[in-house]
């Protein structure tokens, strides 16, 4: 029996009830005399208000009181980009001509977003300072709130705590902490990532990031949930409506692998080992992460590549809001070096940088059962064609299936289950792009 059940039994309370006045008919329920009623001042509402009042008092006088700020992925990614531009401008004299051209392109994009930059001299100290100030404003845009954070469990693989925060509360200012005269919804739910502001300036007590792991649904007076330390940075590639790729940095929790032995299997001379699903990643579910994860694709975590083995996109999903929650991902090591991934990205960026030349944009290497999208830039003369290469011994329908959508984008699906070095050719007018099918 829970503490709440004990309290209900002790108080003789079993529903939305109110003590009966002396002049009204009495109905005995449990140990007290009550009458069913749903008007104001009912006992259920009073209990909730008392708990919320106690929490708000503790926000100011408890040792567990804390200040937190929700992590805004979009604002953080924008700030990282602006800081990157400012940093390269500080080293502008040492950059290569290609890097200088890239900085100029990004500076023009920044000036289009933030017109106040256009009034300053590009590459000047004032311009760089303005970029840094805009980046700082991006990270400070999310409001700060008071809350309680209590210790729960501390293990080698994870650290759990319990957060208690009102559903609605005044935001606060930082340094010093002062209440604002506003009334905002805190909007915490499963999968929410937030920064715990420790308030100390020392290097050994930096601010930390946490992810809401699971809400206590029985608590209705305020939001109460298990939280887990989220100290991993995960790069998610987002494609906008124009087909441009943007990298967003999410924060999540990762553990494992925990296997101490590997089970090997032998059949018909083939040797293999079972998948190890103990390397787990927990990341916020939103409209971008929900479409990013695919089996056998790669994801960059703290600068290192990992291969996606399986994923559960409904882990910790609330039935009232199925678009939020946590995605649980099983990972394994990939032997693809980070340098190779960076080379692929740089190659794609170089293709886009050649804005004056017509080109077919898309991967030049695909894996068995991959899906790919190809677009053409700076030309409208031609039609899509997909054909086997000159030295291929297989027909094109043995290698890929393809179709063209209403936006003139070519979608391919690799149907062959093994590598094929001869590959195939994608043509658009006079443009030809050779694509190789590599092994998993």
| 11-20, 122-131, 230-239, 358-367: least confident range | 11-20
Looking at residue 67, what is its pLDDT? Answer: 92
Give me the residue spans of the domains in the chain.
3-59, 60-71+142-229, 73-139, 247-339, 354-437
Looking at residue 1, what is its pLDDT? Answer: 52
The residue ranking higher by pLDDT, 412 or 32, is: 412
pLDDT tier at 159 (50, 70, 90 boundaries)? confident
Looking at residue 18, what is its pLDDT? Answer: 44
Whether residue 339 has pLDDT greater than 60:
no
Looking at residue 343, what is its pLDDT? Answer: 62
Whether residue 193 has pLDDT greater than 90:
yes
pLDDT tier at 40 (50, 70, 90 boundaries)? very low
| 28-32, 123-127, 222-226, 259-263: least confident range | 28-32
pLDDT (tens digit per residue) in 383-429: 899 998 888 888 888 899 999 888 888 999 988 888 888 889 999 98
The residue ranking higher by pLDDT, 248 or 44, is: 248
Looking at residue 406, what is its pLDDT? Answer: 83
Looking at residue 32, what is its pLDDT? Answer: 42
Give the single-character DSSP code of 78. H
In the sheet that 371-377 helps form, which strands lie side by side, from edge to edge? 359-361, 371-377, 410-414, 400-404
Distances (CA, A) of 256 to 76, 143, 157, 333, 341: 27, 34, 7, 11, 23
Mean pLDDT over residues 342-364, rounded?
A: 66
Whether residue 314 has pLDDT greater than 70:
yes
Look up the CATH number of domain 354-437: 2.60.40
């Amino acid at each position: 029996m829970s503490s709440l059940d004990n309290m209900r039994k002790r108080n003789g309370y079993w529903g939305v009830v109110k003590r009966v006045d002396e002049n009204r008919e009495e109905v005995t329920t449990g140990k007290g005399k009550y009458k069913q009623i749903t008007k104001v001042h009912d006992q259920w509402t009073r209990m909730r208000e008392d708990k919320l009042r106690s929490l708000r008092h503790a926000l100011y006088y408890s040792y567990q009181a804390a200040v937190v700020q929700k992590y805004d992925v979009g604002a953080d990614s924008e700030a990282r980009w602006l800081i990157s531009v400012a940093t390269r401008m500080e080293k502008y004299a040492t950059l290569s001509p290609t890097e200088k051209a890239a900085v100029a392109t990004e500076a023009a994009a920044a000036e289009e977003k933030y017109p106040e930059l256009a009034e300053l001299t590009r590459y000047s100290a004032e311009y760089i300072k303005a970029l840094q100030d805009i980046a700082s404003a991006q990270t400070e845009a999310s409001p700060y709130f008071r809350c309680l954070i209590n210790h729960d469990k501390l293990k080698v693989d994870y650290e759990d705590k319990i957060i208690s925060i009102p559903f609605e509360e005044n935001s606060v200012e930082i340094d010093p902490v002062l209440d604002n005269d506003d009334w905002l919804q805190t909007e915490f739910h499963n999968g929410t990532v937030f920064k715990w502001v420790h308030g100390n300036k020392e290097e050994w007590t930096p601010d930390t990031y946490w992810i809401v792991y699971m809400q206590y649904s029985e608590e209705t007076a305020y939001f109460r949930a298990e939280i887990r330390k989220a100290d991993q940075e995960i790069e998610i590639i987002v494609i906008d409506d124009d087909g441009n790729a943007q990298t967003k940095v999410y924060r999540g929790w990762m553990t494992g692998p925990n296997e101490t032995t590997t089970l090997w299997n032998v059949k018909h001379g083939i040797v293999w080992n079972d998948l190890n699903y103990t390397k787990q990643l927990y990341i916020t579910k939103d409209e971008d992460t929900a479409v990013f994860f695919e089996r056998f694709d790669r994801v960059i975590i703290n600068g290192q590549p990992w291969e996606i083995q399986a994923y559960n996109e409904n882990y910790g999903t609330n039935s009232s809001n199925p678009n939020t929650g946590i995605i649980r991902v099983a990972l394994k090591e990939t032997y693809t070096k980070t340098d190779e991934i960076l080379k692929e990205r740089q190659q794609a960026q170089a293709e886009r940088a050649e804005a004056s030349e017509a080109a077919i944009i898309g991967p030049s290497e695909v894996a068995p059962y991959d899906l790919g999208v190809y677009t053409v830039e700076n030309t409208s003369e031609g039609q899509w064609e997909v054909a086997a290469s000159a030295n291929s011994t297989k027909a094109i329908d043995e290698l890929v299936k393809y179709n063209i959508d209403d936006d003139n984008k070519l979608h391919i699906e690799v149907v062959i289950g093994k590598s094929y070095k001869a590959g195939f050719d994608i043509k658009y007018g006079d443009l030809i792009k050779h694509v190789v099918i590599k092994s998993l």
